[in-house]
Amino acid sequence: MHTWVDGHRASVLNVQNRGLAYGDGLFETIAVRGGRPSLLDGHLARLAHGCERLLLEVDSALLRDEVERYATELGEGVVKLILTRGDSQRGYAFSPASPARRILQSGPLPAYPAGNAEQGIRLFSCQTRLSEQPRLAGLKHLNRLEQVLARAEWHDVEHAEGLMRDMHGRVIEGVYSNLFLVCSGQLSTADLSRCGVAGVMRAALIEQADRLHIPVHIGDLSHDDLAKADEVFVCNSVYGIWPVRGCGELNWSPGPLTRTLQAVARALLDT
């Protein structure tokens, strides 16, 4: 389906755009099935939070309407929504009054091997570390060179995702997923106040775990925590949950809590 820029069909953008110049913007990747964008409230809430922190102006009602209309036309696929601060004057300074530019792109739902969700995946252990920047941590902003470098570390199809740590060796997330550990019936996921992307599926699973009375610990995860975990899984808002079978010399089996939450994630994506 054709791209929209500010609600109009367009496939190009002014080269002065600050998204290009500085990565000055945010994005969301939204699964669409039956013309409905999955987890739309979560995506728009994260975007609103990001806009607040980056001082980006956006009309949220207009944005919601635009995403819904785009998804209806698309029917099935993945929508990538990019917000940028618009075109640049010279230099980093910006006028706070200018509204963000809205870009909607689409592609087909990715055809991941069925085994990813069934038998689980292996994580490549990335050397590229996540830098710590509290002012940007959690946001899905357009400064993604660390992910580009991390993803360039492996080329085999054995590894469906990569594991990223921070500069202190703490276990944080996947290159395009969040990570959960299960230990004695408790879920753990990394604190993302210094680095990482606070995924919409991660937030939804934390909420659902609470409803299911599954304790969730959000904090620092060490290599030891990972090694001792009973179950490990990754998640995002396109594929839901994939069990993790291994990472380097570590191995796990998909366990009962992963399977329960996998069904929960599937239901969240389908409604």
The answer to the question of residue 13 lying near a copy of itself (CB under 8 A) is yes
Dist. CA 261–CA 115, nearest whole Å:
17
Residues in a beta bridge with 121? 244
Residue bearing tokens 């054995």: 158
Residue number with CB closer to a copy of itself (144 or 259): 144
Stretch that binds a copy of itself, among 32-40, 148-156, 196-204, 206-214 (CB under 8 A): 148-156
Instruction: Report how far residue 218's alpha carbon sits from residue 249's, in angstroms, rounded to the nearest whole number.
Output: 25
CB neighbourhood size of 120 (10 A):
22
**Strand ranges of the sheet holding 25-33, from the earlier edge strand across to the other edge:** 8-9, 4-5, 101-107, 77-84, 25-33, 36-37
Cα 58 from Cα 14, distance rounded (Å)? 19
- Report if residue 5 touches a copy of itself, rule: CB under 8 A: yes
In this complex, which beta carbon is closest to a copy of itself, that of residue 5 or of residue 44?
5
* Distance (Å) of CA 140 to CA 65, 103, 112, 125: 21, 15, 23, 22
What is the dihedral angle through the alpha carbons of 54, 56, 62, 67, rounded to the nearest 10 degrees?
-50
173 is an active site residue: yes
Among 142, 126, 157, 167, smallest CA distance to 47 is for 142
CA distance linking residue 28 with residue 43, whole number of Å: 7
Site string for a copy of itself, 48-87 (x = CB under 8 A): ------xx----------------------x---x-xx--
- Minimum Å gap between C-beta 186 and a copy of itself is 31
Find the binding residues for a copy of itself in span 169-188 (CB under 8 A). Answer: 175-176
Query: Rule CB under 8 A: is residue 218 a binding residue for a copy of itself?
Result: no
From 129-137, 217-225, 249-257, 258-266, give the range in contact with a copy of itself by CB under 8 A: 129-137
Determine, following the binding rule CB under 8 A, whether residue 112 of this chain makes contact with a copy of itself: no
Q: How far is the CB of 247 from a copy of itself (least distance, A)?
A: 18
Q: Which two tokens stand for residue 43?
A: 């995506």
The encoded tokens of residue 124 equal: 């490549």
The answer to whether 207 is a known catalytic residue is: no
Tell me: does residue 92 bind a copy of itself (CB under 8 A): yes
| 260 catalytically annotated | no
Could you say whether residue 148 binds a copy of itself (CB under 8 A)? yes
Find the binding residues for a copy of itself in span 229-248 (CB under 8 A). Answer: none
Q: Which residues are catalytic?
A: 29, 140, 173
Which residues are near a copy of itself by CB under 8 A?
Answer: 3, 5, 10-24, 27, 54-55, 78, 82, 84-85, 90-94, 103, 105, 107, 110, 128-129, 131-133, 135-136, 141-152, 167, 175-176
